[in-house]
């Protein structure tokens, strides 16, 4: 089950969040004390066991709260397994794809809304419910002679449904045994009892709770598929020293605190052993057999290393578990370099604090999310990786991306390095209204204030934030060209110098590379809203065409969107301005060694044409994909771009033909023409405004 929409009202500093749509991996960005944490904590109210305090209610809405208010409500999307589970259990109910869950200030229990799906609220004796089963049992007992009946303990059948199948089976077995003993001389009684309990429908898995179809469905959802929200804010630190004597004591007789500061706490040790798949009992057995002990620790160390490295950025690490005298296990870390060399071997507790935090976070988080109880849970993370270097923050972001496959992840951050999806719904801004001290959430986040948006701006424009928020820059400043990739920026700047044509020079322009396609739209809006004459240069993919439509919807003129084209023909990417023969020269030079190893002299134009793809990049990507098993990995167009731009810079680009140069001249003329058209458009609009004012 995934949360797709939510709304929070009258909760702490949140007056009304409005309806917010969220993706599988959503970041809440805002300044300190803006309400990011409050949003995450509000979502925990969906949990069945979550307690609500009067102190959690918004002080500003005392009058509203006198009546019933939905503090939190959400629309949840069911997966196929959940939909099938409901369909199998309730075959007469139309297919349910979405469920609304809400909680009010007057009702401490989460409630359900199934939308337009028609569900009966009438008493239904045909339901295979606990209530109907209990009535069937009691009807059977009413036929038993009174001298037997009064001796039977029927308390189990008179109470609520049992919580587990084990309780159900044990209670049924105990009652059956008692009946057999008391009715040993009444075979008819035993026969009637066995007819009831042998009914194939009488099994715990199929027994439902409720007397109406609606009540039964609600109870079924609550018991079987109700979503679970898990909030992480205390990221437990691992020191790397494990006192096994104390660890085992803790599991026998738990205490609040037992470890000295130099030893890890039991819960962190549990996580470490879980990932390492290290059995403490097995470890005890091997202590006096050195060869088995070494093998056991080596295997555990290997498993731990393999599970931690995918989320580790920079050089990989190797984790080594060592058993020392006094029954203490130490965690030893080594750096593993690309050439295979190993350096900096030493105890974890002697590493820098940032390193220890990263190691601890990845280990604890990986363990806790892999455990069965957290699978499919919706994870709420408050400021993950806040103390880490940007490189390691990107490692944590990769971990979150991977988690989003099995778990929905919602997290709060104000780091630009923890923002990697700029699509609305995956990026939400939380802002504090100071006068009322109330938080609000921006789905269209580009409308938030500059200070709140700072980390987003850094991410969107690769650090060019100052140029965006400089209020002294106005409509008379240099036009801004937003491009989709860094390669676009490099080519435009390189060919501008290469051509040395003052009539088409790009020098008066600001060329800004968006972080990715999702960031093009908001980045263009940011620049436009801050007074820049803004244009967007796009390739001819479907995604880019969608961006163009959204730009128009956000009041950009058609002339401000420029697609790659040449002589009236659309081009797929900026690389298609380069003649295929010229571009392939760069490709073959860039990948020369790899190609020769695979028996290729060169990639040819015929190879490109045989792919029947749109553009040279798609064609080369297809060729590389065909050779994936040969170790070609993926085609890297940026690497080829760097080669071409470097050769232009050192004046060794003789392989570039005059025709390629002419094609780039046509691109610069196209941009210049669009700037002229936009200038005329603005001028005409200003004239019309003045005319209307004079009238």
Beta strand ranges found along 516-593 (DSSP E): 534-538, 561-563, 565-566, 569-570
pLDDT confidence band for 363 (50 / 70 / 90): confident
Which tens digits make up the pLDDT trace of 307-333?
888 767 667 899 999 998 888 999 999
**Residue 564 confidence (pLDDT) above 70:** yes
Of residues 292 and 500, more confidently modeled: 292
Residues 285, 293: Cα–Cα separation, whole Å: 9
Contact assessment for residue 659 and residue 554, using Cβ atoms and an 8 Å cutoff: no
Reference 311, options 236, 381, 385; nearest CA is 385
H or E element that contains 3 = strand 2-11
- Mean pLDDT, to the nearest integer, of 380-393? 77
Residue 126 has pLDDT above 50, yes or no: yes
Tokens representing residue 111 in the block: 């409630």
pLDDT attached to residue 471? 41
pLDDT value, residue 331: 93
Band of pLDDT at residue 430, cut at 50, 70 and 90: confident
Token pair 């040395």: residue: 500
pLDDT tier for residue 473 given thresholds of 50, 70 and 90: very low
In the predicted model, what is the mean pLDDT of residues 294-300? 94
Q: Choose the weakest-confidence range: 7-16, 220-229, 679-688.
A: 679-688
pLDDT in tens, 60-91: 888 889 999 999 999 999 999 999 989 988 88
Closest to 633 (Cα-Cα) out of 641, 642, 623, 643: 623
- Say how far apart CA 310 and CA 133 lie, in whole Å: 51
Q: Provide the pLDDT confidence category of residue 268 given band limits of 50, 70 and 90.
A: confident
Q: Mean pLDDT of all residues in the chain?
A: 83
pLDDT in tens, 660-690: 999 999 999 999 899 889 988 888 887 777 7
User: For 18-67, what is each residue's pLDDT tens digit?
Assistant: 888 898 889 998 887 778 889 999 999 999 989 888 889 988 888 889 99
Q: Is the model more confident about 465 or about 495?
A: 495
How big, in percent rounded to 5, are the helix, strand and coil portions of the chain? 50, 15, 35
What b/e readout covers 653-677, taking b as 16+ CB neighbours within 10 angstroms? Answer: bebbeeebbebbbebbebbbebbee
For the full predicted model, state whether its pTM sits above 0.75. Answer: no
- Where are the strands (E) in 251-397, listed by range? 317-324, 328-336, 342-347, 378-382
| Residue 344 falls in which region: left (phi positive, over 0), alpha (psi -120 to 50) or beta | left
Higher-confidence residue: 434 or 570?
570
Helices (H), 309-352: none
**pLDDT confidence of residue 205:** 65
Which residues fall within 8 angstroms of residue 596, CB to CB, at 6 or more apart?
none
**pLDDT score of 592:** 80
Q: How confident is the model at residue 658 (pLDDT cuts 50, 70, 90)?
A: very high
């Amino acid at each position: 089950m995934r949360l797709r929409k939510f709304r929070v009202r009258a909760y702490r500093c949140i007056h009304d969040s409005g309806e917010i749509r969220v993706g599988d991996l959503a970041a809440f960005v805002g300044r300190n004390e803006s309400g990011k944490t409050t949003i995450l904590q509000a979502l925990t109210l969906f949990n069945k066991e979550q307690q609500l305090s009067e102190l959690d209610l918004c002080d500003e809405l005392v009058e509203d709260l006198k009546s019933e208010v939905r503090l939190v409500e959400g629309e949840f999307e069911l997966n196929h397994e959940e939909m099938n589970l409901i369909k199998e259990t309730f075959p007469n109910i139309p297919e349910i794809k979405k469920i609304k869950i809400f909680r009010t200030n007057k009702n401490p229990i989460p409630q359900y809304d199934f939308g337009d799906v028609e569900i009966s609220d009438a008493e239904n004796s045909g339901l295979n419910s606990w209530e109907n089963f209990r009535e069937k049992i009691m009807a059977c007992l009413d036929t038993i002679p009174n001298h037997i009946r009064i001796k039977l303990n029927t308390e189990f059948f008179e109470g609520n449904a049992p919580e587990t199948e084990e309780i159900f089976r044990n209670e049924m077995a105990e009652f059956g045994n008692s009946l057999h003993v008391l009715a040993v001389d009444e075979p008819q009684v035993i026969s009637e009892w066995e007819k009831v309990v042998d009914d194939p429908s009488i099994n715990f898995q199929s027994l439902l709770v409720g007397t109406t179809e609606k009540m039964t469905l609600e109870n079924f959802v609550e018991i079987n598929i109700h979503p679970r929200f898990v909030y992480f804010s205390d990221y437990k630190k691992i020191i790397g020293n494990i006192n096994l004597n104390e660890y085992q004591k803790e599991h026998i007789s738990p205490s609040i605190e037992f470890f000295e500061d130099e030893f890890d706490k039991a819960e962190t040790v549990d996580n470490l052993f879980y990932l390492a798949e290290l059995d403490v009992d097995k470890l005890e057995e091997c202590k006096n057999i050195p060869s088995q002990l070494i093998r056991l620790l080596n295997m555990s160390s290997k498993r731990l290393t393999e599970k931690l490295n995918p989320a580790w950025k920079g050089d990989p690490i190797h984790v080594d578990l060592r058993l020392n005298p006094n029954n203490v296990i130490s965690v030893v870390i080594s750096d593993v370099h690309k050439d295979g060399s190993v350096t900096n071997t030493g105890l974890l507790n002697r590493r820098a604090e940032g390193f220890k935090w990263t190691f601890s976070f990845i280990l604890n988080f990986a363990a806790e999310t892999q455990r069965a109880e957290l699978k499919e849970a919706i994870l709420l993370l408050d400021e993950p990786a806040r103390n880490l270097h940007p490189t390691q923050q990107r490692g944590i972001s990769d971990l979150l991306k991977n988690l989003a496959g099995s778990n929905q992840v919602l997290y709060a951050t104000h780091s630009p390095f923890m923002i990697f999806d700029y699509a609305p719904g995956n990026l939400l801004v939380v802002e504090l209204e100071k006068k009322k001290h109330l938080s609000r959430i921006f789905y269209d986040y580009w409308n938030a204030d500059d200070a709140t948006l700072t980390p987003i701006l850094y991410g969107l424009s690769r650090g060019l934030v100052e140029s965006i928020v400089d209020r002294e820059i106005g409509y008379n400043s240099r036009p801004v060209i937003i491009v989709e990739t860094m390669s676009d920026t490099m080519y435009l700047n390189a060919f501008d110098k290469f051509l040395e044509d003052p009539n088409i020079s790009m020098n008066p322009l600001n060329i800004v590379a968006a972080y990715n396609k999702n960031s093009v739209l908001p980045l263009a809006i940011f620049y436009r809203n801050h007074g820049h004459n803004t244009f967007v240069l796009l390739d001819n993919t479907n995604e880019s065409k969608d961006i163009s439509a959204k730009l128009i919807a956000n009041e950009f003129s058609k002339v401000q969107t420029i697609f790659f084209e040449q002589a009236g023909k659309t081009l797929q990417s900026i690389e298609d301005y380069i003649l295929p023969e010229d571009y392939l020269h760069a490709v073959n030079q860039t990948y020369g060694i790899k190609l020769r190893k695979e028996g290729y002299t060169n990639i040819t134009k015929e190879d490109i044409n045989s792919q029947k793809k749109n553009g040279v990049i798609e064609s080369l990507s297809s060729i590389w994909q065909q050779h994936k098993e040969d170790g070609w990995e993926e085609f890297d167009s940026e690497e080829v771009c760097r080669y071409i731009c470097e050769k232009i810079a050192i004046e060794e680009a003789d392989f570039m033909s005059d025709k390629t140069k002419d094609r780039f001249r046509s691109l610069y003329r196209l941009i210049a023409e669009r700037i002229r058209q936009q200038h005329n458009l603005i001028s005409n609009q200003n004239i019309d405004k003045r005319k209307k004012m004079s009238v």
